[in-house]
Amino acid sequence: DIQMTQSPSILSASLGDRVTITCRASQSLNGWLAWYQQKPGKAPKLLIYRVSNLEDGVPSRFSGSGSETDFTLTISSLQPDDLATYYCQQYLRYRTFGQGTKVEVK
Amino acid sequence: EVQLVESGGGLVTPGGSLRLSCAASGFTFKNTWMSWVRQAPGKGLEWVGRIKSISDDGTTGYAAPVKDRFIISRDDSKDTVYLHMNSLKTEDTAVYYCTTDQTRSDVWGQGTLVTVSS
């Protein structure tokens, strides 16, 4: 099974800050990496697919990068609507989620 | 409108069984691979399993914690995917989501809560 390790678990930042979340896979994913946003009581929402492709309707302040086993989700300027939990997910073989990163206001 | 609606959740005793349903609308269900994802209270997302479209051989795959206990099936005539859960354990307590298994523009249901407790 492919394991996904995400960090940090909790990220405290100020509105307007640049925020970075990292995700590491136990093997190379050949680009099969996505990022999701989830708000309390809601289903997850796809933000980025294939490492760096922005899903339709997702603000351009979100970006993804990385390769092989190491990946990053960046929010260029944290907005109130971005306070949520973020998950990376591999889909090279079946699917596996990272443990999640809760983004909160400092 | 593209939509997935889960049903069938509820309270079940340990060792019991339950069947969840997920009704699809607004897209060509028969061509779509489908997955189930769960989330225990206060915890992260956990992929449960998926079923391919019949045209792609209709095979299933499962996460280790549910393999041999859970079965995913589909009825394309009803645009519905099912999650048959057997030998339920307290650790299976979670909100269960169905979702389209695709690279982009995926669709998620609202989730249905399964509580396993005596």
Length of chain A: 106
- Tell me the residue type at B53: S
Lay out the sheet containing B18-25: strands in order across.
Answer: B3-7, B18-25, B80-85, B70-75
Mean pLDDT of B13-32: 98
Q: Which residue of A has its CA nearest to B44?
A: A99
The β-bridge partners of B4 are B24
Mean pLDDT of B12-38: 98
A98 lies within 8 A of chain B by CB:
yes
User: Judged by CB atoms within 8 Å, which residues 80-99 of B form the interface with A?
Assistant: 97, 99
pLDDT at B1 (0 to 100)? 94
Helix (H, G, I), strand (E, B) or coil at A54: strand
CA end-to-end distance (rounded Å), chain B: 39
Give the whole-angstrom CA distance, residue B91 versus residue B14: 10
**Mean per-residue pLDDT over chain B, rounded:** 97
B44 lies within 8 A of chain A by CB:
yes
Our CA angle for A21, A27, A31, nearest 5°, is 65
Cβ contact B61–A44 (<8 Å): no
Which residues, given as ranges, of chain A have pLDDT below 50?
Answer: none
A1 lies within 8 A of chain B by CB:
yes
User: Judged by CB atoms within 8 Å, which residues 24-43 of A form the interface with B?
Assistant: 34, 36, 38, 43
B105 closest CB neighbour out of A56, A95, A99: A56
How many CB contacts within 8 angstroms connect chain A with chain B?
Answer: 51
Mean pLDDT of B27-43: 98
pLDDT at A8 (0 to 100)? 98
B106 closest CB neighbour out of A46, A94, A97: A46
What residues of B are in contact with residue A91 (Cβ under 8 Å)? Answer: 103
What residues contact residue B118 under an 8 Å CB cut-off, 6+ apart? B13, B14
A7 lies within 8 A of chain B by CB:
no
Q: What percent of chain B has pLDDT over 70?
A: 100
pLDDT at B93 (0 to 100)? 98
Give the whole-angstrom CA distance, residue B9 versus residue B74: 18
pLDDT at B3 (0 to 100)? 97
Q: What is the DSSP letter of A55?
A: P
